[in-house]
Amino acid sequence: MGTTQLEKAPEPKYWHLRTVLTDALDSEFAVGEVLPNERELAARFGVARATLRQALEQLELEGRLQRRRGVGTTVAPPRVGVDVGPVRDSWPGPPGGDWQTEGCEDVTPPAAVVQLLATAPDAVVHAVRRTRMSQGQPVATELLYIPAASAPSVPEAPADTDSSSVRAEHLLRALHRLELEGQDRAVELGSAHTDDARQLDRLPGAPVLVVTTRYFVAGRTAAVSVSTYRADTCRLTFGDTEPVTLMAG
Amino acid sequence: MGTTQLEKAPEPKYWHLRTVLTDALDSEFAVGEVLPNERELAARFGVARATLRQALEQLELEGRLQRRRGVGTTVAPPRVGVDVGPVRDSWPGPPGGDWQTEGCEDVTPPAAVVQLLATAPDAVVHAVRRTRMSQGQPVATELLYIPAASAPSVPEAPADTDSSSVRAEHLLRALHRLELEGQDRAVELGSAHTDDARQLDRLPGAPVLVVTTRYFVAGRTAAVSVSTYRADTCRLTFGDTEPVTLMAG
DNA sequence: TAGTGGTCTAGACCACAGT
DNA sequence: CTGTGGTCTAGACCACTAC
């Protein structure tokens, strides 16, 4: 046998590159430091730029790198833990939190939401748009779908003079008057659509964690929120228990 | 002005393709149906294969498509909701669940886990490996890290004759004897490493949802589990409240 | 063996940020 | 303007599955 090894499946180059770069990031780079540009890195490793980029994409997805067009590739800080858990079953609102309500529209929600709300397929519901900030950066956008039945005090077609964000506050207050029985969450991977991508300062298709929350009132789903978190920078935390003394620096 | 439009930023081809294909999947394809191969699709849309593949990658990431080398691209079924929530604060175990314990090893855990366990950086801890099945397919692998202090009844260095999976059962039973005070979860995006990828029937680097759970006993972290779920096929559900009557088909 | 998706290349051009 | 990452191309070859 001419070959000294059986070597069934050679590791792909981009995966090996990812490993090498991971180790380099751990040992030789500081957070915020800028890496050499892609063309130089590719040359240095003896691969095509596309292959090098495949490795960088992995690392960006894992939250190790941050790439900005026209600027360069920098070492990303550790992911920020954003709390998504049920601190207490409660309605969304602006109680000192880091959420910021942007405004509201009347829309026919996507099919998945229609199914959760059990409304008519072409029914128009209120939709409050909010943004979540963390450490000065937007980390999530949210669309809170509120069927008209859940907010009867808010007029269907508001006067144009009624500011969109004022109306959003009305809707949230209307929700708070309902007695919340419980909620329900699901997390899945998605890709940022054009609007979300722009708000999150990402390109279309960027990986996001989509958190879908159902709000129950009187045995029915009174509202549904769909929150879109940047998957590269966020770690979603669920505090299932009362806060425990942190023991890890 | 020669141009009739301002047209600031034209949509990337791969993103437009993704939209077109999404609509096509919604209207013209059934679950399980196989799509034309990539070379033909690329020709049909008048783009290079790499561009077409960029769109397919998006759709696979979103759980709309399933691609298998040597076979083809098929329309994926809707994501399966796997429950990850605190049905009741409880230790992991095989109480009729869909978890299957594979065996155990003694390892020095990764830095992130060491930090959570607050053990010495080079300390060896027990690690029970489990796999979660759903609808006949593996959807997650898990490594449950148990410091020796949390399972004093299990010998440090077992006889080789002691089967790995038998020892794993011993470790789980030892945990069950401790009074669990609470738990803690975090979800983030990761990429499947070589071992996990193989167990999940994916390629290295495949997107996964990593669920990190801390188990608290006597005010300290008695164990940490790191579960790796296929991000393309799984939707993680957190039943924060007692089960509510489903109302959406 | 034939056909599929996965990897890799060596280019080109574009959009954007900073000067 | 220059330099960066983002998009796109037209090929080639490889690994795998199924017949």
Distance from CA of B166 to the nearest CA of A (A): 31
Beta bridge partners of A151: none
Helices (H) and strands (E) in chain B, counts: 6, 10
CATH architecture of the region B80-248: 3-Layer(aba) Sandwich (3.40)
Assign A43 a pLDDT band (cuts: 50, 70, 90).
very high
Beta bridge partners of A145: A127, A224
Mean pLDDT of A149-171: 73
Percent of chain A with pLDDT over 90: 67
Q: Which of residues 214-233 of A touch B (CB under 8 A)?
A: 216, 219-221, 231-232
Q: Are A169 and A154 in contact (CB under 8 A)?
A: no
Mean pLDDT of A46-72: 97
A37-41, A171-175, B127-131, B158-162: which has the minimum mean pLDDT?
B158-162
In A, which residues are within 8 Å of B15 by CB distance? 204-205
Q: Which residue is nearest to nucleotide C4 (CA to C1')?
A: B70
Give alpha helix (H) positions in chain B: 13-28, 38-45, 49-61, 111-117, 164-176, 194-199
Question: Can you give the residue ranges of every domain in chain B?
Answer: 13-75, 80-248
Q: Helix B13-28 vs helix B49-61: angle between axes, to the nearest 10 degrees?
A: 60
- DSSP secondary structure code for residue A148 in this structure: G
Assign B246 a pLDDT band (cuts: 50, 70, 90).
very low
Instruction: Answer yes or no: is pLDDT of B113 > 80.
Output: yes
d(CA B172, CA B114): 20
Q: Which of residues 76-105 of B touch A (CB under 8 A)?
A: 79, 81, 85-86, 89
- Cross-chain residue pair B189–A15, CB shorter than 8 Å: no
B167 class by beta-carbon count within 10 Å (0-12 exposed, 13-18 middle, 19+ buried)? buried
| A204 at interface of B, judged by CB pairs closer than 8 A | yes
Q: Are A107 and A78 in contact (CB under 8 A)?
A: no
Q: Are A237 and A143 in contact (CB under 8 A)?
A: no
* Summary mean pLDDT of chain A: 87
Q: Say what the pLDDT of residue A97 is.
A: 72
Which A residues between 207 and 226 have a beta carbon under 7 A from any strand D atom?
Answer: none
Assign B247 a pLDDT band (cuts: 50, 70, 90).
very low
How many Å from the CA of B64 to C1' of C15?
30
d(CA B213, CA B186): 7
How many Å from the CA of B195 to C1' of C10?
33
Mean pLDDT of A109-122: 94
Distance from CA of A81 to the nearest CA of B (A): 8
Nucleic strand D within 7 A of Cβ B53? no
**Residue A32 falls in which region: left (phi positive, over 0), alpha (psi -120 to 50) or beta:** left
Please, which positions of strand C sit below 7 A from a protein CB?
2-12, 15-18
Percent of chain A with pLDDT over 70: 86
Instruction: Answer yes or no: is pLDDT of A169 > 90.
Output: no
Q: Say what the pLDDT of residue A155 is.
A: 64
| B240 at interface of A, judged by CB pairs closer than 8 A | yes
How many Å from the CA of A68 to C1' of C17?
9
CA neighbours within 13 Å on the CB side: how many for B19? 9
Instruction: Answer yes or no: is pLDDT of B155 > 50.
Output: yes
Nucleic strand C within 7 A of Cβ A48? yes
CA dihedral (A69, A13, B61, A208) positive or negative = negative
Q: Which residue is nearest to nucleotide C8 (CA to C1')?
A: A51
Nucleic strand C within 7 A of Cβ A47? yes
- Cross-chain residue pair A184–B15, CB shorter than 8 Å: no
Distance from CA of A113 to the nearest CA of B (A): 10
Instruction: Answer yes or no: is pLDDT of A249 > 80.
Output: no
Q: Say what the pLDDT of residue B169 is.
A: 87
Q: Are A102 and A136 in contact (CB under 8 A)?
A: no
Q: Say what the pLDDT of residue A207 is.
A: 96
- Nearest nucleotide from residue B67 CA, by C1' atom: C5
Q: Are A197 and A204 in contact (CB under 8 A)?
A: yes
Q: Are A85 and A237 in contact (CB under 8 A)?
A: yes
Instruction: Answer yes or no: is pLDDT of A201 > 50.
Output: yes
Q: Say what the pLDDT of residue B240 is.
A: 61
Q: Say what the pLDDT of residue B159 is.
A: 55
* Summary mean pLDDT of chain B: 87
Q: Are A142 and A135 in contact (CB under 8 A)?
A: no
Assign A241 a pLDDT band (cuts: 50, 70, 90).
low
Instruction: Answer yes or no: is pLDDT of A91 > 70.
Output: yes
Mean pLDDT of A228-234: 96
Mean pLDDT of A211-231: 95
- Nearest nucleotide from residue A67 CA, by C1' atom: D5
Q: Give the residue with greater pLDDT, A219 vs B50.
A: B50
Burial letters for B172-209: b for 16+ Cβ neighbours within 10 Å, e otherwise? bebbeeeebebbbbbbbbbbbeeebbebbebebbbbbb
Mean pLDDT of A7-27: 89
Q: Say what the pLDDT of residue B41 is.
A: 98
Instruction: Answer yes or no: is pLDDT of A182 > 60.
Output: yes
How many Å from the CA of B78 to C1' of D12?
36
- Could you confirm whether domain A13-75 is CATH 1.10.10.10? yes
Assign A39 a pLDDT band (cuts: 50, 70, 90).
very high
Assign B1 a pLDDT band (cuts: 50, 70, 90).
very low
Mean pLDDT of A89-108: 81
- Nearest nucleotide from residue A46 CA, by C1' atom: C9
Percent of chain B with pLDDT over 70: 86
Name the residue in chain B with its Cα closest to that of A55: B205
Distance from CA of A220 to the nearest CA of B (A): 8
- Cross-chain residue pair A241–B187, CB shorter than 8 Å: no
